[in-house]
Amino acid sequence: MKVLIPGALRSYVENGHAEAGGATLAAVLADLERSYPGIRFRVIDEQDRIRPHVRFFADGVQVRDLRQPLATASELVIVQALSGG
C-alpha cells in the first residue's frame, strides 16, 4: 500500500511517500521499519501505543488501533501535529 509520509519523518524515507505491506496497521508499520529503521519509534511509543501527536488515516478514515485490519489497496496517511514555542 502507499503510505504518505509527513515532512517531519521524511528524513527517514527521503520522499513524501513509501510502499509497505501488511494486513494491520501494526504490520504495515513493521514493514516500514524494516525498510526505514527508526521510523516506527517516531509514531509508536515504548508501550506500543500510537503517540498522542500522531494520527493515521486509511482511505480517509482514522485508524486508532494497531490491530485494525487494512485493505492491501488502501492509502495510509500519517499526520503529525507540530508544536513549539
Collapsing DSSP to helix, strand or coil, 72 comes out as coil
Rounded CA-CA distance 59/45 in Å is: 24
Rounded CA-CA distance 12/32 in Å is: 10
83 has pLDDT over 70: no
Please list, in sequence order, all residues whose beta carbon lies within 8 angstroms of the beta carbon of residue 39, skipping any fewer than 6 positions away: 9, 12, 13, 29, 32, 33
Taking the domains of the chain in order of start, what are their residue ranges?
2-80
Q: Tell me the CATH number for domain 2-80.
A: 3.10.20.30
Residues 20-54 pLDDT 10s: 999 999 999 999 999 999 999 999 999 999 999 99
The continuous run of DSSP H or E covering 79 comes out as strand 75-80
